[in-house]
Structure 1
Amino acid sequence: MLMDAKTAAALDEAKTRLAEEHLTDPNVVGVAKGFRTRDGELTDEPVVIALVRKKRRAALVSRSRLLPEVIGGHGVDVVETGEFRFSGATKAAAATPIAERFRPPLQGAGLGSLADGTLGTFGCLVRDRTDGSICVLSANHVLANFGATAPGTAIVQPAPLDGGAAEANTVARFKRAIPLVKGVGNTADAAIAQLEPGIDVSSTVARNLMAPISPTHRAIGLAFLASVHGGTFMAKIDTVLAQLDVELLTPDSTVAAVEGGRIEKVGRSSGYTSSVVLDTTARVFVDGYSFDDLIYAQRFSLVGDSGAVVCEGGNGRTYTPMPAIACRMLGAAGTLYDLPLDGDNAYLDQARDEFFGESAVGNLVVQLVYQNLDVAVNRLEAATASPEEKAEAQRYYAKYRALVIGLLGDPGSAVQLSQENVDDIRTVFAGFSPELVTLPEKQALWVIFDDVIVPSVGRTRAGLLEYMNDPAVYRRVVTALREIPGLEVDDTYGFSGR
C-alpha cells in the first residue's frame, strides 16, 4: 500500500501539529503517519498515528488531554506502544552479554565512556571525511553522555560497567557528536570517537554473529532507543553519516529501510537479533528529547544495545530474549485441578522460546502473561473446581501432554492442527468459569478463536508460525484484547498500521 507524495506531505504537517499540541502529555510518546487499522483490518485511509504509553477509553481521559479524532483534515489513530527509554543509560541484565575484551575492538561489542561510566555498543568503524581518520561509531548518549563529554575523553572496551574501567582499556577518544537538543526535533542520536594509535582495524563482527557490513550486507540504521520489551527506534544510517560527516569503510554499503523489510543487528546486551521494519517515519518523545523520521521494529534491542548498527537481512523473527515465566501460575493451576503442573515448567519455557517466541502473536501472548500474571494467579488461588471440572482437566492433560512435548522437540513436525483439536479448544474456552475469566475476556477469547484458531485447521507447526506472523492476524488479536477492561496490553508491534 503506497501513499502519494502530496498526501504524505499533508500528513507530515498534521503530524507536526499533533506533536506540538500533545507531546507535552506524559502519556504521548510519539507520532507517525500511516494507514488506519479498523476492526483489525488495514484500511487505505491515510492517518496521523499517535503513540501512547497506555491507551484508555475516552471516558477515562480528561478533556484537556483527550487526543483529537481529526487534525489538519486527517484522522488520528491512537495506538498503545508502552514505555521507551535510551537503551544505553544503565547496566543491562542479559544472559550472555558481549562484555568481553576484543583486540582489535569489534562491531557489536560493549563499550563506554571511561569518565562518564556509560554503557553501549560498538556500532562499526567509519572514516572521518574531514581528516581521513578511522573512528568508532556509536550513540551520542554512549560516547558523549548527551553532549556532556569533552573531546578527547577515553572510550574503553569493554565498558566500565563490564570491567573495563581502566585507562589501559582505551580504544578510542571521543571526537564529535550530533547534538541532542531538547525542544526541537532531532533525527539521530550518534557520535564518533577516533581510534587510538596502535589499535588495529577489523570489520569482523563480535563472535562472528553476523556478516560484516558490505555492498551485499548493507546498513540501514543505528539503534538507540528501546522499550521494556525490546521495541526499538533507529536513526537512519544515511542521516547519521551525513550529519557526522563520515563514511563507512566499504562504499555502497547503505540502503534505505522499507516497511516489512527484514533486519538484523548484533548488540552488547541482546547479541544477535532479527526483526521486521514496521515504520520508517516514526516520531518519539522521551526524557525531554523529540525525535523525527525514525525506523521502528519489535523486540529488537535491549538496554546496552545503543549504538548498534542495523543491517538488512536475517529471518525477521530472532527476537530479544524474555525472562523466564514464573512457575507460580502453573503451581496455582495444578493445585486447582489436581494436576502435576509444577514439573512442566521447563516445557512452558520451551514453548515460550521455541514456539510462541517465534511469532508476533506469540510474543504478544507471552507479554500478556507477564503483565497480568498477578491477576491470573490470584484468580486461580481463589477459585474452586468441581469434581467434574477436575476430571475434565485431567482428561485433556493426559490427552495432550505427550503430543505437545513431542511437537516442541520437533521443529519440522508434519503433524497438523485437526478439527478435533479445535473442538477441544472450543470446549475448554466454553468451560472457563466466571471466577477465572470475566465475560469481556471470554468475548475476546471467542473473537481470537474465530479469527485465529479456526482458520488454523490443517496447518503444521511451521504453518502456524507463518500464520501467527501475519500482521493482519496480529492486529485482529490486539483489537480483541483492547476491548477487555483492565487488561494490561503492551502493544509495541505494528503501531504504524502500514
Structure 2
Amino acid sequence: MHEHELFDAEATAVPSELQGLTDALATAEGKFLDKPNVVGVALGHKITDGVMSDTPSIMVLVSHKVPADMLRPADRVTKTVDNTPTDVLEVGHLVAGGEAPAEPLRAVDAQTLASRVRPVRPGYSVGHPKVTAGTIGAGCYDIAPLPGMPPRYYVLSNNHVLANSNDAQIGDPVYQPGVFDGGGPADAIGRLARYVPIRFDGTCNYVDAAIAEVPFDTIDRDIYWSGYPTTAATAAAVGQLVKKTGRTTHFTTGRVTAVNATVNVGYGGGKVARFCNQIITTTMSAGGDSGSLVLDWENRPVGLLFAGSAVATILNPIATVQVALGVRLWP
C-alpha cells in the first residue's frame, strides 16, 4: 500500500467550487507575486466589508492594503485574472511563528502549557535546545499497513521548532518544555528522528514539519482542551471554522479564508521560504504556537500551524505533513 493511499482523497482535494480556478491561480502567481507588498496568492471567496460571499475568487495576499491611487498602475491588482474575479486580502508580514517571544510573558494561568508534563499532551511547550519554544501538535507513529504493531512513536511539530530550521542533526535531543520555558537536558523527552528540509531558493516548500522519537509512555494523543483526533485528515474548506491549542495563545478558534495558497514566509536573518498549497485562516496564533495541530469542529485534523502575522495564520495541510514524514495520527 502506498503512503498516500492511507488518506482519503478528499483530505487533499480542492473544494469543488474552486476546482475550475487552478489555471487562473497559476496565472496570478506569475502576474502578482513580484509586485510590491504582495506576499502570496490563493483561492477563496470574495470578501466585501468583512463578509465572505459565495463568489469564487483569486485572493491576492498583501502585507497591508494600500489605496489604489497611491500605487503605480503597473503595481495595481487587476480586477480579474483569466476572467476570474480577484480580491485583495491583508495577511500582514508572514513569519515562521515557532519561537516564543523574546520578552517575558505575562503571568497568567495559561502559563501551565509552558510547564513540564509527563506524559505530555499536544498543545504543550517543546523545542530543540537551540530554539526558544514551540508547540507539540500531536502524537503519531510510523505509517504501516493496518492492522499492525507500530515500531516507534513520535511527537509532531515544525522543522523550525524541533530541527532549528535545518540546523540540527538527527538524534539531537528535544526538550519538553522548550528552553524559553525552563527546559534543559533533564527535560529531554526524545530525539530528533526526521524532518523535511526547508528550501530558501525560491522553489516551493509544502511543509515545515519534523518528528522526535519518544518513549510510548511519554506522549498522549489527547489534545489539551480539544480531545482526540477523530480521523487522519480532512481537507480545508473556505469559510470552515477551526480550532487549535498552542503553547502561547492556548485554545483559539479561526475561520479558513483561503486555500491552495502560495506564500512567502520570513525565517529571520533575511531568509525567506516560498510555500505552496497552504491554508490561510484568520489570526489564531502568536510566537510559540507553531507546531499546533488545527482541527475542525468534529476534531478532524486540518493543518499543522507554522507561520502567521497579527491578522492571519498559515497551515500546512495535515495529510501532506503525514505523507512527507511517513507517519499517521489516527487511528
Q: What is the CA distance between 1:267 and its match in structure 2?
A: 0.5
- 2:65 is matched with 55
Q: Distance in 2 between matches of 1:85 and 1:162?
A: 21
Q: SS of 1:254's equivalent?
A: coil
- 1:117 is matched with 131
Q: Distance in 1 between matches of 2:233 and 2:80?
A: 37
Q: SS of 1:113's equivalent?
A: coil
Please say which structure displays the higher CA radius of gyration.
1
Matched, 1:33 2:49: no
- 1:185 is matched with 204
Q: Distance in 1 between matches of 2:131 and 2:34?
A: 30
Matched, 1:297 2:281: yes
- 2:101 is matched with 91
Q: How well do the aligned residues superpose, as a CA RMSD in angstroms?
A: 2.9
Structure 2 residue aligned with 1:258, among 218, 234, 237? 237
Matched, 1:159 2:178: yes
Change (3 A) 1:265 1:73: same
Change (3 A) 1:152 1:158: same
**Paired amino acid for 2:158:** A
Q: Distance in 2 between matches of 1:199 and 1:284?
A: 38
Task: Kindly report which structure 2 residues correspond to 1:89-238, keeping only aligned pairs within 5 A, or say none.
Answer: 89-91=99-101, 93=105, 95=108, 96-97=110-111, 98-114=113-129, 116-129=130-143, 132-164=151-183, 166-182=184-200, 183-195=202-214, 197=215, 200-206=218-224, 209-213=225-229, 215=230
Structure 1 residue aligned with 2:254, among 244, 266, 275? 275
Q: Which has the higher strand share?
A: 2
**Paired amino acid for 2:249:** S
| CA displacement, residues 439-461 of structure 1 (integer Å, 9 cap, x when unaligned) | xxxxxxxxxxxxxxxxxxxxxxx
**Paired amino acid for 1:285:** N
Q: SS of 2:21's equivalent?
A: helix
TM-score where L is the length of structure 1? 0.50
| CA displacement, residues 275-309 of structure 1 (integer Å, 9 cap, x when unaligned) | 33333333322222222222232231111010011
| CA displacement, residues 223-270 of structure 1 (integer Å, 9 cap, x when unaligned) | xxxxxxxxxxxxxxxxxxxxxxxxxxxxx4432233333322210001
Q: How many residues align?
A: 274
Q: SS of 1:282's equivalent?
A: strand
| CA displacement, residues 197-228 of structure 1 (integer Å, 9 cap, x when unaligned) | 5853423334xx22122x2xxxxxxxxxxxxx
**Paired amino acid for 1:310:** V
- Structure with the larger RCO, 1 or 2 (CA within 8 Å, 6+ apart): 2
Q: Which structure 2 segments of 5+ residues have no match?
A: 1-13, 145-149, 267-271, 299-309, 314-331
Contact 2:39 2:263 in 1 (8 A): yes
Matched, 1:24 2:24: no
Q: What is the CA distance between 1:77 and its match in structure 2?
A: 1.8
Q: What is the CA distance between 1:34 and its match in structure 2?
A: 2.7
- 2:307 is matched with none
What is the identity percentage for the equivalent residue pairs of Structure 1 and Structure 2? 30
Contact 1:186 1:291 in 2 (8 A): yes
Q: Distance in 1 between matches of 2:127 and 2:30?
A: 34
Q: Distance in 1 between matches of 2:168 and 2:292?
A: 20
Q: What is the CA distance between 1:153 and its match in structure 2?
A: 0.8
Q: SS of 1:303's equivalent?
A: coil
Q: What is the CA distance between 1:143 and its match in structure 2?
A: 0.9
Q: Which has the higher helix share?
A: 1
Q: Distance in 1 between matches of 2:126 and 2:36?
A: 31
Contact 2:37 2:63 in 1 (8 A): yes
| CA displacement, residues 417-443 of structure 1 (integer Å, 9 cap, x when unaligned) | xxxxxxxxxxxxxxxxxxxxxxxxxxx
Q: What is the CA distance between 1:133 and its match in structure 2?
A: 0.8
Q: What is the CA distance between 1:8 and its match in structure 2?
A: 3.7
**Paired amino acid for 1:104:** P
**Paired amino acid for 1:138:** S
Q: Distance in 2 between matches of 1:75 and 1:253?
A: 34
Q: SS of 2:212's equivalent?
A: strand
**Paired amino acid for 2:56:** P
Q: Distance in 1 between matches of 2:168 and 2:65?
A: 38
**Paired amino acid for 1:156:** Y
Q: What is the CA distance between 1:40 and its match in structure 2?
A: 6.8
Farther off after superposition, 54-63 or 152-161: 54-63
